[in-house]
Amino acid sequence: MPAFDIAACAALLDELTAIGARAARAIRELSGHGGVRNKADGSPVTAADEAAEAAICEGLARLAPGVPIIAEEQAAREKPLLPLPSASGETAPYFLVDPLDGTREFIAGSDEYTVNIALMNAGVPICGIIAAPASGLLWRGIVGRGAERLAFTGIQRSAPEPIHTRPRPADELVVLVSRSHLESRTRAYLNAVPRARPVQCGSSLKFCRLAEGAADLYPRLAPTHDWDIAAGHAILKAAGGDVTTPDGLPLAYGSPDLLIPDFIASGVPLGA
């Protein structure tokens, strides 16, 4: 299994960007075509989810043969096998894919849905791609190298623009909350944050807003899957922020059910 450091991720970044853009085009082509059904857990899935996942998995298998891929829709059909630890005890590299994050928003006709691709190394996200099909924007980052935003149209891409988180403002804090999953624990946390101005936002776009300095906090105090947040985690950390447990501890990816119990995403690392 190949090892992935900053240089190895940088060598893959443009092709990962192209894979994300291709998945975004697949989603746009199927927008409004219906075909919605519910999975076993009650969550919706569409033909666009499946088309995007097929495009991503094909591209990743070609780009990095032998690196396992854990993707949401495939995981809904059969329990994924996590990569075995290496001889040093670290988890081998693998990709985490959410082909259409914000399916409910997509079905409702909202623009707030994304494509998420993350590369995991030693159990943590080190590289992330998030594409927003409706806006034609894409965010990408490599931990230790930096984060960028660019526009894409068809096969054309703009020059990438570096992005950074912002310092914690002295007046109000922009706190992003889920448009579809705002539950009681997160509401209580939000009520306890001084000077908080809550802003609803769908999908992993919340991580992108933090990474580009448009917001300050994103609390999620309810379970979510690894593939929902890994790409955003990598981009936000690359841009200067972090994602931790509410106690400030590192997140534990790779549990048997691939669930993160809760987290706080912040433009300024907690405790800084």
The pLDDT value recorded for residue 88 is: 65
CATH code for position 24: 3.30.540.10
CATH code for position 192: 3.40.190.80
Domain identity same for 142 and 184: no
The pLDDT value recorded for residue 36 is: 87
Domain identity same for 31 and 120: yes
- Does residue 240 fall inside a structural domain? yes
Domain identity same for 104 and 20: yes
Distance CA 54, CA 73 (A): 10
The pLDDT value recorded for residue 99 is: 98
Domain identity same for 147 and 223: no
Q: Reduced to 3 states, what is the DSSP secondary structure of residue 176? A: strand
Domain identity same for 12 and 124: yes
Are 141 and 231 in contact by the 8 Å Cβ rule? The answer is no
Domain end, chosen from 163, 197, 221, is at: 163
Domain identity same for 134 and 90: yes
Domain identity same for 184 and 89: no
Query: What are the residues whose beta carbons fall under 8 Å from the beta carbon of 103, sequence distance 6 or more?
Result: 43, 44, 45, 46, 49, 113
Are 227 and 97 in contact by the 8 Å Cβ rule? The answer is yes
Domain identity same for 122 and 197: no
Domain identity same for 215 and 151: no
The pLDDT value recorded for residue 91 is: 79
Q: How many domains does the chain have?
A: 2
Query: How many helices (DSSP H) and strands (DSSP E) are in the chain?
Result: 7, 17
Domain identity same for 148 and 127: yes
85-101: pLDDT as tens digits? 666 667 789 999 999 99
Domain identity same for 183 and 70: no
Are 102 and 86 in contact by the 8 Å Cβ rule? The answer is no
Amino acid at residue number 80: P
Domain end, chosen from 130, 163, 196, is at: 163
Amino acid at residue number 260: I
Q: Domain containing 196: what range?
A: 173-266
- Does residue 47 fall inside a structural domain? yes
The pLDDT value recorded for residue 84 is: 62
- Does residue 271 fall inside a structural domain? no
Domain identity same for 226 and 187: yes
- Does residue 33 fall inside a structural domain? yes
Distance CA 53, CA 16 (A): 14
The tens-digit pLDDT sequence of the chain (272 residues) is 457 899 999 999 999 999 999 999 999 999 877 678 888 888 889 999 999 999 999 999 999 999 999 999 999 988 887 776 666 667 789 999 999 999 989 988 899 999 999 999 989 999 999 999 999 999 999 999 999 999 999 778 999 999 999 999 999 999 999 877 778 888 899 889 999 999 999 999 999 999 999 999 999 999 999 999 999 999 999 999 999 999 999 999 999 899 999 999 999 987 66
Domain end, chosen from 141, 163, 185, is at: 163
- Does residue 1 fall inside a structural domain? no
Query: What are the residues whose beta carbons fall under 8 Å from the beta carbon of 95, sequence distance 6 or more?
Result: 60, 64, 67, 68, 69, 70, 71, 117, 118, 119, 120
